[in-house]
């Protein structure tokens, strides 16, 4: 007996949480900078541009969910004899790392390695976006043929997800760094440097990253729907369809 998950309900649930977090983030920004009402605990727990708070937990959770879906796809593809499961396995491990990184902020320590070779400067802010951006380009090159072997719908969703991630998580991260104009890692007066304009930039950045992952989740759920008639709670994978839509 199978219990089939509804993709629409899953995505509605996740998108609703994301929108609530974004609106809560905008609310505390408006209260602080528009009405001079600063409730530090609420601000720290709800602002998107911070670590170890509610938005970070949600971001880490959806990255972990992405990894789980990818591991499911790996287990399904292991039986088809094509060897394509290796591509999915690498993606599963990458998203597992990203889920851990979102919580533990591993990427922030890249700058420490950078300091062993170079002097501290305002370029510190661009170190991890440069490293991660380079890895995204490398991954795109390696996966190019594989990506174009996917069903058209999945291909387009993957491209949309990548566009949102590169434009949001990396692009607006760099824009935010340019706006601050000083290294975050050298004890600047953060409350003086980070005004409402910066927090709006960071809101776009974090929202782009969040929706990039949500689009990716939708792509994975759609892929499972196309290949195995959907996501099920009990039993193994249903019989593979003879034809792909």
pLDDT in tens, 100-157: 998 887 877 788 788 777 877 767 777 878 888 888 899 999 999 999 999 999 999 9
**Contact partners, residue 216, CB within 8 Å, separation at least 6:** 66, 157, 158, 161
Of 157, 175, 174, 172, the closest CA to residue 213 belongs to 157
Q: Cα(150)–Cα(154) distance, rounded to whole angstroms? A: 6
pLDDT in tens, 30-84: 999 999 898 989 999 999 988 889 999 999 999 999 999 999 999 989 887 777 8
Task: Work out the mean pLDDT of the chain and round it to a whole number.
Answer: 85
Of 106, 13, 21, 10, the closest CA to residue 59 belongs to 21
The string of DSSP codes covering 81-150 is SSSTHHHHHHHHHHHHHHHHHHHH-GGGGHHHHHHTTS---GGGGGHHHHHHHHHHHHHHHHHHHHHTTS
For 99, the token pair is 């889920």
Q: Give residue limits of the domains in the chain.
A: 7-228
Q: Is the pLDDT of residue 243 over 50?
A: no
37 phi-psi bin (left φ>0, alpha ψ -120 to 50, beta other): beta
Q: Cα(241)–Cα(225) distance, rounded to whole angstroms? A: 10
Percent of the chain with pLDDT over 90: 51
For 66, the token pair is 């992405």
Residue range 195-200: mean pLDDT, rounded: 88
Task: Write down the pTM of the prediction.
Answer: 0.88
């Amino acid at each position: 007996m199978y219990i089939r998950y509804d993709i629409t309900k899953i995505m509605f649930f996740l998108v609703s949480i994301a929108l609530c977090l974004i609106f809560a983030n905008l609310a505390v920004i408006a209260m602080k900078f528009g009405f001079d009402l600063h409730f530090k605990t609420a601000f720290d727990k709800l602002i998107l541009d911070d670590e170890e708070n509610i938005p970070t937990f949600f971001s880490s959770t959806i990255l972990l969910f992405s990894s789980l879906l990818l591991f499911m796809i790996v287990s399904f593809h292991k039986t088809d004899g094509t060897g394509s499961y290796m591509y999915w396995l690498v993606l599963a491990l990458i998203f597992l790392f990203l889920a851990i990184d979102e919580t533990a902020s591993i990427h922030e320590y890249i700058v420490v390695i950078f300091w062993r070779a170079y002097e501290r400067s305002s370029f510190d802010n661009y170190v991890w976006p440069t490293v991660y951006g380079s890895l995204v380009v490398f991954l795109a090159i390696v996966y190019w043929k594989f990506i174009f072997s996917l069903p058209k719908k999945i291909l387009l969703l993957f491209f949309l997800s990548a566009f949102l991630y590169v434009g949001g998580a990396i692009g607006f991260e760099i824009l935010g760094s340019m706006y601050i104009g000083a290294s975050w890692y050298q004890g600047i007066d953060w409350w003086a440097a980070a005004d409402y304009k910066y927090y709006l930039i960071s809101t776009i950045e974090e929202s782009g990253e969040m929706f990039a992952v949500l689009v990716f989740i939708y792509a994975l759920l759609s892929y499972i729907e196309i290949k195995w008639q959907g996501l099920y709670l009990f039993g193994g994978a249903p019989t593979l369809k003879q034809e792909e839509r």
